[in-house]
């Protein structure tokens, strides 16, 4: 088992409970870690038998921009389920979302969640 990951993927989107948050895009930063068996891909040097992290990054950005969530909890849960549905090679996924503008005196706030098949 191996972990294929993406760190610090920035996606600008509208999210939040506060009234002002519903009218401006904020930058969210995503870390996505996907556990998978890399044996077949490594043996054949075949991208089609593994998780294409460039494709995942594109999907994360597109999915997040299409959502209309108030809470990071809702967004992370929906995103993990979406990625599991679209990438059968993922055995387990962990997603961290950081929201830098959430708390004035903190560098960021966020959530980390995991789900497995």
Q: What is the pLDDT of residues 26-68, one digit of tens each?
A: 999 999 999 999 999 999 999 999 999 999 999 999 999 999 8
pTM score: 0.93
75: phi then psi, degrees, rounded to nearest 5: -60, -45
Q: How many domains does the chain have?
A: 1
Residues 50 and 41 sit within 8 Å (Cβ to Cβ): yes
Residues 9 and 33 sit within 8 Å (Cβ to Cβ): no
E-assigned strands of 14-116? 26-36, 92-99, 109-116
Domain containing residue 57: CATH number:
3.30.1130.10
Half-sphere exposure of 73 (CA within 13 A, CB side): 2
Q: Computed from CA positions of residues 58, 63, 65, 69, in that sequence, does the dihedral angle turn out positive or negative? A: negative
Instruction: Please report which confidence band the pLDDT of residue 23 belongs to, taking 50, 70 and 90 as the band edges.
Output: confident
Q: In which domain, by residue range, is 98 found?
A: 2-116
Which residues on adjacent β-strands are paired with residue 94? Answer: 33, 114
């Amino acid at each position: 088992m191996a972990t294929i990951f993406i760190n610090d993927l920035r996606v600008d989107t509208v999210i939040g409970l506060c009234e002002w948050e519903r009218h401006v895009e904020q930058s969210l930063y995503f870390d996505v870690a996907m556990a998978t068996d890399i044996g077949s891909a490594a043996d054949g040097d075949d991208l089609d038998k593994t998780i294409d992290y460039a494709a995942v990054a594109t999907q994360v950005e597109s999915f997040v921009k299409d959502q209309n969530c108030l809470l990071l909890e809702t967004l992370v849960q929906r995103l993990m389920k979406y990625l599991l549905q679209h990438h059968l090679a993922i055995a387990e996924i962990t997603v961290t979302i950081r929201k830098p503008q959430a708390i004035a005196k903190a560098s960021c706030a966020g959530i980390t969640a995991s789900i497995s098949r």
